[in-house]
Amino acid sequence: MLGKGAVWALGAMSGTSLDGVDAALLHTDGERIAGFGVSGFRAYGAAERAVLLRALGQWEGPQVAAAAALVGRAHVEALAPLLAGAPGVALVGFHGQTLAHDPQGRGTHQAGDGAALARALGRPVVWDFRTADVRLGGEGAPLAPFFHFALAKWLGATAPVAFLNLGGVGNLTWVDPAQPAPEVPGALLAFDTGPANAPVDDLMRARRGQDRDTDGALAATGEVDAAVVTRFLGHPHFPRLPPKSLDRDAWSGLLAEVADLSDADAAATLTACAAAAVMRGMEHCPRPPARLLVGGGGRHNRTLMAMIAAAVDCPVAPVEEAGLDGDMLEAQAFAHLAVRVARGLPTSCPGTTGVRAAVGGGIVSQP
């Protein structure tokens, strides 16, 4: 357990977009944010991304072992330089790489060994954040909302605000900053909106050998196939009341829906699907937020951001307009959650994951 007061923690996140490892320092007591530190990024190369792609959807076997070994190496390479420059870091928050997510079935599976990482880094590592939540009936995701609550307080928000993360999957957090703590009923509502960058990224790799539709440039030149979007919105995920979560491959058949479209029309249609998922998600907010702040790689997609802005009834802006780093929010979130775990504070609640009661997840491994 940590003593009182704010400490420096280092958080790491390797998301469903499979682009690499984000790492960021955060000064926090687990409840309020005292300051932001330096950050770093360790990209996955094409061969490494292929290793991870082969392991997606799997729970065990040689491909999973290969992915876990890769995740461990990449995190040491991402985190060690930041720790060398910040010897006062108290602990590390390590999310790992999600390979499979089936909260109503087998559970949730993040590749990576936090105990091995603690030995390699010489720091306590907090990891396995999701298992306890799933065991108690929760979805195990999303987990950033408790950090979003702290961000809303740091921003001085007085009216409800929503945070949207556009990674491989999109997730939305609605925050009422008037509440005293994130686990208080009514303080938070959070859920996965639907696919975000993943389908377009997969399309670009399959058709053009590129990692993404940079800035949404290709989608901007195409026409949306409205029939595909309509069928997409017929998925049973959308009317389900939140909290709710998704696996990256929940819409694995979406590429087949655009197989007969040109590259530009396919990119435009998949981008429109991602925006429509956000629109449907916003309908679940208890009250309209004063603004929607967007993080994750999707905020750089101008076409996607324009589609979202046209579809929702509040101002939409990248989180940078609020003085935040949209590339590092999730890494910062796991630094914040690591401190909460070490202090015995909850990390999820009924409003964020549907768990039966507020629960603290995570394992603390000593070096």
Domains detected in the chain: 7-139+334-347+359-365 (3.30.420.40), 145-322 (3.30.420.40)
pLDDT digits (tens, 9 = 90+) for 182-220: 999 999 999 999 999 999 999 999 999 998 999 999 999
* The pLDDT of residue 16: 77
**For 133, what's the count of Cα atoms within 13 Å in the CB-facing half-sphere?**
32
102 DSSP β-pair partners: 107
Residues of the chain with pLDDT under 70: 1, 247-248
**What pLDDT is stored for residue 168 in this prediction?**
86
Contact 259, 206 (CB under 8 A): no
- Distance in angstroms (rounded) separating the CA atoms of residues 44 and 183: 35
Q: What is the pLDDT of residues 225-284, one digit of tens each?
A: 999 999 999 999 999 999 888 766 778 889 999 999 999 999 999 999 999 999 999 999
List the structure tokens of 16.
């469903």
Q: Tell me what pLDDT residue 248 has.
A: 67
Residue 231 to residues 169, 219, 227, 256: CA-CA distances in angstroms?
19, 19, 6, 12
Looking at residue 349, its pLDDT comes to 97
User: How much is the pTM?
Assistant: 0.93
Q: What is the pLDDT of residue 184?
A: 97
Q: What's the pLDDT score for residue 2?
A: 77
3-state SS, one letter per residue, for the chain: CCCCCCEEEEEEEECCCCCEEEEEEEEECCCCEEEEEEEEEEECCHHHHHHHHHHCCCCCCHHHHHHHHHHHHHHHHHHHHHHHCCCCCCEEEEEEEEEEEECCCCEEEEECCHHHHHHHHCCCEEECCCHHHHHCCCCCCCCCHHHHHHHHHHHCCCCCEEEEEECCEEEEEEECCCCCCCCCCCCEEEEEEEECCHHHHHHHHHHHCCCCCHHHHHHHCCCCCHHHHHHHCCCCCCCCCCCCCCCCCCCCCHHHHCCCCCHHHHHHHHHHHHHHHHHHHHCCCCCCCCCEEEECHHHHCHHHHHHHHHHCCCCEEEHHHHCCCCCCHHHHHHHHHHHHHHCCCCCECHHHHCCCCCECCCEEECC
